[in-house]
Structure 1
Amino acid sequence: MIGRVFSRNFTRTYKHSLNSHTIQESIIRSEYAVRGAIAMKAMEIERQMETGTKFGFDKITHLNIGNPQDLGQKPISFNREVLASCLVDDPERNRMIYSSDAVDRADHYLSHINHRAAGAYSDSTGIRVVMREVKDFIEKRDGVEVNEDNIYLTNGASEGITYMLRLLIKDENDGIMIPIPQYPIYSALITRFNGKQVPYYLDEETGWRMTYEELEKAYFEATAKGVNVKALTLINPGNPTGQVMSQEDLEKVIKFAHEKRIFLLADEVYQKNIYVDKEFCSVRKALHGLGAPYSNDVELASFHSLSKGLLGECGLRGGYMELHNVNEFAHAMAYKSKAVGLCSNIIGQIGVGLLVNPPTEESVSKEVYDLYKKEEQTIFDGLKHRANLITEKLNNIEGVSCNQVEGAMYAFPKIQLPRAYCHLANTLGIQPDLKYCLDILEKTGIMIVPGSGFGQEEGTFHFRITNLVNCSLEMERALDMIGEFTEDIMSQYRYKGVETVKLPHEPILDSEYQTI
């Protein structure tokens, strides 16, 4: 894993009471690759560009993080009109600017919160009418019955994940099973809460599939070391791997959880982003389909967010968590955890309502509905085209292989780096795939994230790249630059013996940082 921490080699003074000797060790040890060394280096380059330093590129291309609107994706008009009408509670004025349907939807929300969209708290678990919309959404999607009191509106899915991991990890002996590769919020939070990571490896050769055999292997290896395995996390569609799990795969996971009596955490924020002939199946639906005893016994927390999907409203920080088969005491503790933060932000909560209750032909005018569907389809078509483009282009680069991007917003290609290049990276004290990503950033301005930040099979190297550049031509150009850079690396280091490799004059990372 990749991380950078402040050097401990300095003299402690009175005015530095908060330092690397006094900050909680678990905070120092936790890592978050998508905003780690690569992001810090990019910020340094951008500061230098602002002061007139010239590079071989005009701007940084952020292919490191799922942030669609930062890369040109336009927001859905109807949703923004509703949010604007909520912030300025003046229906007569708003109808002169926005569609009547949007103003009516805003009034629908405002009437349930005393017409205070941004200036007052809601209940800790959320705005009740939005919670009911989430309930209706899950019931319609999965054919199940949902208790709205099991729903928590959160500041993005990340907040719900944080709450659950904090509840699940009682002490340092508690373990959480996470897929490898994984989204690094899980490893970071498990470390922060002093738990144990229990990695289970996805099978790259079969399109990053999860197997029952690997789950068993990971579980027994952990328990043999005395780890108390409390929960299993799955991400569907996958991040960073982009695979889509079948209902059959999910049923195997559910049976495993039931057999081992462990909690399931279902990260399902990319459920609208599926680009192949597969349908999304939620864990809730698969659990219901299996029937008793599984549907009555297996404990589940599911997460969704309006940051991802087709809305890409990352900055609104809206999401929800649904708990299922969780006992009353655990519910009370979840509520207490949520209540400490009072409530998630109101505009984000309303955004969740718009996520789960979009306009329909029956609810809005034909003009509003047609525009909504056109904007949504345009976003989806662009994501699908670029997903296919990434798969095709990366597989044409020497030394790079990439599974088909079935869903989500990412690809996780494998790269075979020359031995001499790896030796140079090791001599510098960093992972070879981190060096590759830092080098490509400095040469081209393209930000991608090393696979070592997500976890990978020992002896392999990967990187994660997003398919979010809104202009397909710009995406194609970025992929071509990655190809040219990689071919240069292969050509330069392929036949070079490690004894001939010379260190660069300056280290890649600032000297005040160290890698861990």
Structure 2
Amino acid sequence: MVFKLNNQLLSKIATGKGHGEDSPYFDGWKAYDNDPYHPTKNPDGVIQMGLAENQLCFDLIQEWLKNNPKASICTTEGAEEFRDIAIFQDYHGLEEFRIAIAKFMAKGRGDRVTFDPDRIVMSGGATGAHEMIAFCLADPGDAFLVPTPYYPGFDRDLRWRTGVQLFPVDCESSNHFKITREALEYAYEMAQLDNIRVKGLLITNPSNPLGTILDRETLKSIVNFINEKNIHLVCDEIYAATVFSQPEFVSISEIIEEEVECNLDLIHIVYSLSKDMGFPGFRVGIVYSYNDAVVSCARKMSSFGLVSSQTQHLIASMLSDDEFVDNFIMQSKKRLASRYSSFTKGLAQVGIKCLKTSNAGLFVWMDLRRLLKEQTVAGELALWRVIINDVKLNVSPGSSFHCTEQGWFRVCFANMDDQTVEVALSRIKTFMLKNKEAMMPVKKLRWQGSLKLSFSSRIYDDFIMSPHSPFPQSPLVQARN
């Protein structure tokens, strides 16, 4: 006899909507999975431009692996160390791994700061690291302020299993989505009015999805803000080494070493090798905290998401090779700059602009506001479905990043080869030529001022991923054959 699974037998967390899988961000991935582009086997398929992955330097990685077979315990040269690596390892992590990570983090920040290997706590990717820091710093119902637009995965990473809320700090295109003290104060006050306890501020630097970096003065202002409010600052710096043009990246670790009054116990960095090295499959996530108690707590929690000792061993060997690391960082920046330049020039040729202050990351923040038939989330999603189904490009709509202005799209450019980029640009060109007459000048959105009044109480479960959202839910996008 076959019994049908009863959802009542499962937990509310497991069966709830907290993962956000029914959002446009993930729907685009499903469309790609259903009809993936291939230059010969499926040339009319969907091109994946929703995945922020750095594949531009794999040849350098492959060459190093060929020249250093002993780094892997799964080769003849490395088999002698198999036993020592395969047996139980303390959850502090291999010492050589933590030393190598600390050194690489410093190199990615121009060696202007140093990091203590004993403060490095490993986790299963940045996803696990964010959840771990949320568990350490906040109780269910507490909130983190998060400037918009922000990475959709934060709704899953920080709040799904922790019960922590995310409260938006509205940033606008009029100043290139810069984080202002005024916006921070406003969000903090609105949270207080809603009887929400704010435990911290989460920032991404460089930004995902904007591809911008925070300047020194903005970082100082942020540090002053969290000090005055006595709340934590969590800095996601997983794109630190992807800054490909001036101005250079400034880490929060540099700011707190300057003449800025700062309670170091409030400062925490999340890092990983998923973006800078292009190793998302290795699940190497890092929490680096200046708070001794957080380091201790996080280390105990890391038992639930350790990096495999085999991966630690390989990474330690690779990142300890100074000549390789220096060349890799240089070549990665060079190739990202080249791809960014060619891609944005291709967009500009057909009249598409991108956020002009971007100089980092693996994506552009593309402005298609002129193509919207109506300046609403519904209007944006209607355009997005056309891009998915007809143009066959998986790009991510700004509303899935909680952007308060409709018509912006994140487009990833580093996860494909040059030929695929050309195909994507060709499709965009064809699409724009068809819609040339429909394009209208971007008008100032007069509803923004009133939006803030209602947006204050729209906390995490009122966002687009929630079944309670005031925004229309996007049905699963099925790509056409």
TM-score norm. by structure 2 comes to 0.79
CA deviation map 1:54-113 (0-9, x unaligned): 98x4433211111233x89435135434775343466xx53xxxxxxxx7xx99xx5xxx
Contact 2:128 2:157 in 1 (8 A): no
AA aligned to 2:48 is: H
Q: Which residue of the partner structure matches residue 501 of structure 1?
A: none
- In the alignment, the residues of structure 2 paired with residue 464 and residue 221 of structure 1 have an alpha-carbon distance, to the nearest angstrom, of 28
Worse-matched range after superposition: 186-195 or 311-320:
186-195
State the secondary structure of the residue aligned to 1:386: helix
Match of 2:434 in 1: 488
Structure 2 counterpart SS, 1:303: strand
Structure 1 residues 84 and 17, CA, compared in 2 at 3 Å: closer, same or farther?
Answer: farther
Q: Which residue pairs with 1:357 in the alignment?
A: 320
* Cα deviation code 1:214-261 (max 9, x no counterpart): 111111111121111111111111111000222222111111111111
Aligned mates of 2:416, 2:382 — CA distance in 1: 27
Structure with more contact order per residue of length (Cα contacts < 8 Å, sep ≥ 6): 2
Question: Within 2, Cα distance between the matches of 1:454 and 1:387?
Answer: 21
Distance in structure 2 (CA, Å) of the matches to 1:194 and 1:169: 9
The answer on 1:475 being equivalent to 2:421 is: yes
Deviations 1:102-156 (A, max 9, x none): x7xx99xx5xxx7544x33422131122112334455675655654332112222
User: Which deviates more, 483-492 or 249-258?
Assistant: 483-492
AA matched with 2:197: N
Asked whether the equivalents of residues 433 and 463 of structure 1 are also in contact (C-alpha less than 8 Å), the reply is no
Gap regions ≥5 residues in structure 2: 441-472
Shift of 1:186: 1.5
Q: In the alignment, is residue 43 of structure 1 matched against residue 36 of structure 2?
A: no
How much has 1:489 moved relative to structure 2? 4.2
Partners of 1:272 and 1:206 lie apart in 2 by: 25
1:130 alignment partner in structure 2: 97
**DSSP-derived class of the 1:16 partner:** coil
Question: C-alpha distance in 2, partners of 1:279/1:508?
Answer: 38
Query: Residue in 2 aligned with 1:346?
Result: 309
Judge which range, 199-208 or 136-145, deviates more: 136-145
The answer for the alignment partner of 2:398 in structure 1 is 451
Tell me the distance in 2 between the aligned counterparts of 1:222 and 1:355: 45
Q: How do residues 263-412 of structure 1 correspond to structure 2 at under 5 angstroms?
A: 263-291=232-260, 293-294=261-262, 296-309=263-276, 311-324=277-290, 326-328=291-293, 330-341=294-305, 343-350=306-313, 352-353=315-316, 356-360=319-323, 377-398=330-351, 400-412=353-365
Partner residue of 1:148?
A: 117
Contact in 1 for aligned 2:210/2:355 (Cα 8 Å): no
Q: In structure 1, what is the Cα distance between the partners aligned to 2:274 and 2:396? A: 20
Q: Deviations over 1:445-499 (max 9, x none)?
A: 32111111111124x22111112154335324312322322443454697xxxxx
CA contact (8 A) 1:60 1:446 kept: yes
What is the distance in 1 between the residues matched to 2:171 and 2:439? 30
CA contact (8 A) 1:469 1:475 kept: no
User: Residue 464 of structure 1 corresponds to which residue in structure 2?
Assistant: 410
Q: Is 1:185 matched with 2:153?
A: yes
Question: Residue type matched to 1:134 in 2?
Answer: I
Is the partner of 2:257 in helix, strand or coil?
helix
SS at match of 1:237: coil
Match of 1:28 in 2: 17
- Measured in 2, the distance between the counterparts of 1:139 and 1:182 equals 25
Contact in 2 for aligned 1:257/1:298 (Cα 8 Å): no
- Alignment partners' CA distance in 1, 2:318 and 2:180: 32
For 1:510 and 1:321, the matched residues in 2 are separated by 34
Match of 2:62 in 1: 77
Deviation at 1:299, TM superposition (A): 1.4
- C-alpha change, 1:431 and 1:84, in structure 2 (3 Å) is farther
Bigger Rg, structure 1 or 2 = 1
Q: What is the match of residue 173 of structure 2? A: 204
Structure-2 change in CA distance of 1:387 and 1:27 (3 Å): farther
Kept after mapping to 2: 8 A contact 1:237/1:268: yes
Q: Tell me how far apart the structure 2 counterparts of residues 260 and 17 of structure 1 sit (CA, whole Å).
A: 46
In structure 2, relative to structure 1, the CA distance for the partners of 1:475 and 1:16 (3 Å cut) is same
Name the residue aligned to 1:236: 205
Structure 1 residue identity aligned to 2:31: K
Give the SS at the match of 1:242: coil
Quickly say closer, same or farther: Cα 1:399–1:280, change in 2 above 3 A.
closer
- C-alpha contact 1:156 1:319 (8 A) present in aligned 2: yes
Give yes or no for the alignment of 1:66 onto 2:52: yes
- Write the letter of the residue equivalent to 2:300: K
Give the structure-1-normalised TM-score.
0.74
Query: What does residue 469 of structure 2 align with?
Result: none
Q: Is contact 2:288–2:295 with CA below 8 Å preserved after alignment? A: no
Q: Any unmatched runs of 5+ in structure 1?
A: 1-12, 95-102, 361-368, 495-506
- Within 2, Cα distance between the matches of 1:301 and 1:476? 40
